[in-house]
């Protein structure tokens, strides 16, 4: 493999080295404004090299597999001015078996993908011809090769399949965007279900209803719960813990959420959108509990932050990226949760999420797509509404979690994972 050749070349002068080569083939079909916008195929290769020399780290990258000498030379030059090494490269490990490749995706070609997108568009237009439809179908085949100077050599091949549908509905000065998308590594995605989910968001928004400014209960859809998970994800980042920026830095083993809240990061889920056996540092990936029954269990460290903190690396790569988040189900149905509320909100999407200082948990964001709950029923869509609160307080103020869970992934998702509907007791609503 090319990565082994890179290691051999680097070790002529370096004290340690690792190389990752990613090759990806993509076919993508996109519909916009009721029309086929593009149907394209592309290929790309990226090689990333890290060397250790004289106690310092240097990195370099290239898109040319023949540029072995050049990419190694640039990494060695960077090491002269690099930061100090706080870690040791991992040796060979036993990879967990993961299902990440579906051969049924190989024969999928653009004409059939165009047909899938058109089918979803037709469903949306049949529901309401005034909607300007949009759809996308994306297929990827990715090969990842890894090697380091400690003898770790890994290779895996992934498939990927992403499907989305939605659109824009303009009525006077009111513009409504709604849609649904999902992604995984297996072909078994129901395009009719994706379009039906998008239509349901439009259906619930047919009426626009007023809402008053006050504190009220809020139900987050599986996709909407990102408003809370964003702050939690930042607080679990080992770099923020190490720098003292995480408000949870001293709370391992303590209750930080409602006892019904359990969140696991699982890179071994069969055909999950972010399933893989190893990360880009050669660390074997394993299932990791983040919060169990409301108790904080783990932070996420890469090699560098783990070495500096005296911890073990988590196998989530240099960016300490969460993989497939799996939240435990609750005891209530979604219908029961809605029926229990006399006045509240059902929130699905936000505009401007992540602005401000989300690591501290404070959020005040515009509701991009949300619905008013009145007398135990979804009454219609709300407009010009802001939602404010504290994510860590909301985790403790969870009043119900649904039995139903659904995968949140694809082009419109901030996090990939399996999430339920979550009800929070009180959040501030500003109309």
Residue 360's region, left for phi above 0, alpha for psi from -120 to 50, else beta, is alpha
Among 104, 97, 190, 166, which residue's Cα sits nearest to residue 139? 104
Same domain, 190 and 220: no
Identify the domain boundary among 204, 233, 259: 204
Same domain, 302 and 224: yes
Q: Is the dihedral of CA 229, 232, 238, 243 positive or negative?
A: positive
Same domain, 350 and 392: yes
116-134 confidence digits (pLDDT tens): 999 999 999 999 999 999 9
Is the pLDDT at 193 greater than 80, yes or no? yes
Same domain, 196 and 227: no
Same domain, 281 and 162: no
Cα of 60 vs its chain's centroid, Å: 26
340-397 confidence digits (pLDDT tens): 999 999 999 998 776 768 899 998 889 999 999 999 999 999 999 999 999 999 999 9
Same domain, 182 and 304: no
CB burial class (10 A; 0-12, 13-18, 19+) of residue 330?
buried
Same domain, 83 and 174: yes
Segment 155-179 shows an average pLDDT of 95
308-348 confidence digits (pLDDT tens): 999 999 999 999 999 999 999 999 999 999 999 999 999 99
Q: Kindly provide the b/e burial profile for residues 13-42, where b requires at least 16 CB atoms within 10 angstroms of the residue's own CB.
A: ebbbbbbbbbbbeebbbbbeeeeeeebeee
Q: Find the DSSP H helices in 295-396.
A: 303-309, 334-339, 391-396
Task: State whether residue 37 is helix, strand or coil.
Answer: strand
pTM reported for the whole predicted model:
0.93
Same domain, 291 and 417: yes
412: pLDDT confidence band, cut at 50, 70 and 90?
low
CA pair distance 288, 80, nearest whole angstrom:
36
pLDDT for residue 413:
61
The first and second tokens of residue 335, run together, are 């219908």
CA pair distance 251, 288, nearest whole angstrom:
17
154-164 confidence digits (pLDDT tens): 999 999 999 99
Number of structural domains the chain divides into: 2
Domain ranges, residue 38: 2-204
Same domain, 236 and 384: yes
Instruction: Identify the CATH number of the domain in which residue 94 sits.
Output: 3.30.2290.10
| E-assigned strand segments in 72-152 | 132-148
Identify the domain boundary among 183, 204, 225: 204
Same domain, 170 and 301: no
Same domain, 38 and 67: yes
CB burial class (10 A; 0-12, 13-18, 19+) of residue 310?
exposed
Identify the domain boundary among 150, 174, 204: 204
411: pLDDT confidence band, cut at 50, 70 and 90?
low
Same domain, 186 and 251: no
């Amino acid at each position: 493999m090319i990565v082994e050749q890179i290691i051999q070349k680097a070790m002529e002068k370096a004290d340690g080295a690792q190389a990752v080569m990613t090759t990806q083939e993509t076919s993508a079909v996109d519909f916009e404004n009721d029309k086929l916008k593009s149907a394209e195929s592309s290929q790309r290769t990226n090689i990333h090299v890290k060397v250790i020399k004289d106690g310092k780290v240097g990195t370099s990258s290239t898109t040319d597999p023949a540029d072995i000498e050049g990419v190694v030379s640039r990494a060695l030059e960077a090491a002269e001015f690099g930061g100090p090494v706080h870690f040791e490269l991992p040796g060979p490990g036993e990879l967990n078996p993961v299902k990440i490749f579906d051969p049924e995706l190989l024969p999928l070609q653009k004409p059939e993908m165009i047909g899938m997108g058109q089918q979803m568009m037709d469903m949306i237009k049949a529901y309401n011809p005034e909607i300007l439809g949009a759809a996308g179908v994306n297929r990827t085949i990715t090969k990842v090769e890894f090697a380091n100077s400690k003898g770790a050599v890994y290779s895996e091949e992934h498939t990927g399949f992403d499907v989305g549908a939605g659109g824009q509905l303009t009525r006077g000065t009111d513009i409504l965007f709604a849609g649904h998308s999902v992604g995984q590594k297996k072909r078994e995605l129901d395009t009719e279900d994706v379009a039906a989910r998008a239509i349901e968001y439009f259906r619930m928004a047919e009426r626009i209803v007023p809402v008053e400014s006050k504190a009220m209960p809020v139900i987050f859809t599986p996709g909407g719960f990102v408003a809370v998970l964003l702050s939690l994800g930042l607080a679990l980042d080992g770099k923020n813990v190490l720098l003292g920026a995480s408000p949870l830095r001293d709370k391992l083993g303590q209750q930080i959420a409602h006892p019904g809240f359990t969140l696991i990061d699982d890179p071994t889920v069969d055909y999950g959108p972010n399933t893989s056996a190893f990360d880009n540092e050669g660390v074997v990936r394993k299932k990791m509990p983040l919060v169990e029954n409301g108790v904080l269990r783990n932070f996420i460290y890469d090699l560098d932050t783990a070495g500096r903190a005296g911890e073990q690396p988590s196998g989530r790569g240099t960016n300490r990226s969460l993989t497939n988040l799996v939240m435990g189900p609750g005891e209530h149905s979604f219908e029961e949760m809605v029926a229990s509320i006399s006045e509240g909100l059902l929130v699905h999407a936000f505009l401007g999420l992540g602005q401000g200082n989300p690591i501290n948990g404070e959020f005040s964001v515009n509701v991009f797509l949300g619905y008013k709950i009145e007398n135990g029923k979804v009454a219609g869509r709300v407009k010009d509404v802001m939602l404010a609160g504290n994510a860590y307080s909301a985790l403790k103020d969870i009043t119900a979690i649904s039995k139903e869970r659904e995968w949140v992934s694809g082009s419109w998702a901030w996090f990939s994972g399996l999430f339920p509907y979550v009800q929070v007791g009180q959040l501030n609503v500003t109309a």
